[in-house]
Structure 1
């Protein structure tokens, strides 16, 4: 799938308010802890998370994205060491800034575009600017976030949030539905969302779900004892 040919259906600016009923049932909280260059994180965003936005599931989900993953913070100077190198640290910060400065209706198409290009091995620091231009977004907001120190603060915040996960993060992607981790069954996230939602009727996307086998993660934490 390439982003240029992908269209997100009817993403509105009302933060995905669910319109099946006048009285709104509680939405399902979906959280993704990930790394921008982790192949499994990229596949989850491009193959599974995108289905939330392509269907009426978007009306029943509160989405929370946390780019950090298995990165490490050095306490003495607050610098970051990322599992897949400095380019991953760069894009973790870019996407953290996007999540801060743009609403979800804009930042998810942006992140989808960036992850599509990175997944296709387009390992360049200007990928995000190409995506911003493609989507008609002002890259100045991201540049300001990165150059003023806000981006670094966001990454430190993501590091703290990730460190407080209970149970702790074991591999990536780390997906939770209503704060319950899916472990290696994250490929079946749509089933978990549908089962967690208590409204009636359920979204039509829930009628077409099927079980997907679990897969091993390529982004396990590094062995720090080596």
Structure 2
């Protein structure tokens, strides 16, 4: 009986503990296409149950360049100096945002996503030319804006942005468009283009069974079930029958 319980537990883990899909977003803070993708595709999808199936990485650099002279690092950015500052704010936020034990409804990942979405939604038009970092932090329960701002205005921000640049430069396929979206650390031009108009549906192609309901809405549940996913589904049915027999 003990061995049977252990076997059932192992099957439960294999059926229910699906691995998260690594998704990396290479973007620029003032890029209109980046803003459109993050606010209209990525953010709405990540506010559904799909968030539990994704390991999300933001890389705020894009087509920027950096030059090192001694200990100094200078940047040139696709949309000008303001974008360089914005990229630093994003890089510092990704590094420094932390969840608080008294706000259990917010995770580090959800706070970062909400903050970045707010910044991208603001676009290039800032009221009174004030960067929306303080406002977006306040609106989205990010309590350490001062630390983020200090980081962005010091060498700490430059170091983090350079790291984002180095990560971008290490791509196997050199970045040619922004945003660029990688699934499972692999670049595919068609997948990248499809993700920008249907991120949720594209992500579902990579999610193992049991899939969230939203995947059925986007692609048809059976159309997405591959051999491995079908086996997991069969094991799941067998597990439930054994459990209640």
Same fold (TM over 0.5): yes
Residues 185-218 of structure 1 show CA distances to partners (whole Å, capped at 9, x for unaligned) of: 33233223111112x22011111116xxxxxxxx
More helix by share: 2
State whether structure 2 residue 82 is matched by structure 1 residue 80: no
Q: How does 1:190-201 map to 2 (within 5 A)?
A: 190-198=200-208, 200-201=209-210
Contact 2:66 2:74 in 1 (8 A): yes
Aligned partner of residue 160 in structure 1, secondary structure: helix
Could you tell me which residue of structure 1 aligns to residue 21 of structure 2? 28
Greater mean deviation of Cα atoms: 166-175 or 123-132 = 123-132
Q: How does 1:1-226 map to 2 (within 5 A)?
A: 22=13, 23-76=16-69, 77-102=72-97, 103-118=108-123, 121-122=125-126, 124-138=129-143, 139-181=145-187, 182-187=191-196, 188-198=198-208, 200-209=209-218
For residue 148 of structure 1, report the CA deviation from its aligned partner.
4.2
Aligned partner of residue 172 in structure 2, secondary structure: coil
Q: Relative to structure 1, is the Cα distance of residues 38 and 107 closer, same or farther in structure 2, using a 3 angstrom cutoff?
A: same
The CA distance in 2 between the partners of 1:174 and 1:38, in whole Å, is 12
Contact 1:28 1:60 in 2 (8 A): yes
Q: How many corresponding residue pairs?
A: 189
Contact 1:45 1:112 in 2 (8 A): yes
Q: Gaps spanning 5+ residues in structure 1: where?
A: 1-20, 211-226
The structure having more radius of gyration, on CA atoms, is: 2
Contact 2:89 2:148 in 1 (8 A): yes
Normalised by the size of structure 2, how large is the TM-score? 0.72
The CA distance in 2 between the partners of 1:37 and 1:184, in whole Å, is 20
Aligned partner of residue 205 in structure 2, secondary structure: helix
Q: Cα RMSD over matched residues? A: 1.9
The CA distance in 2 between the partners of 1:148 and 1:27, in whole Å, is 35
The CA distance in 1 between the partners of 2:36 and 2:19, in whole Å, is 28
**Poorly superposed stretches of 4+, deviation over 3 Å:** none
Contact 2:85 2:152 in 1 (8 A): no
Residues 71-128 of structure 1 show CA distances to partners (whole Å, capped at 9, x for unaligned) of: 0112334200001011101110001111111121211101111111126x22734311
Greater mean deviation of Cα atoms: 41-50 or 97-106 = 97-106
Q: Gaps spanning 5+ residues in structure 2: where?
A: 1-11, 98-107, 220-245
The CA distance in 1 between the partners of 2:152 and 2:113, in whole Å, is 19
The CA distance in 1 between the partners of 2:154 and 2:28, in whole Å, is 23
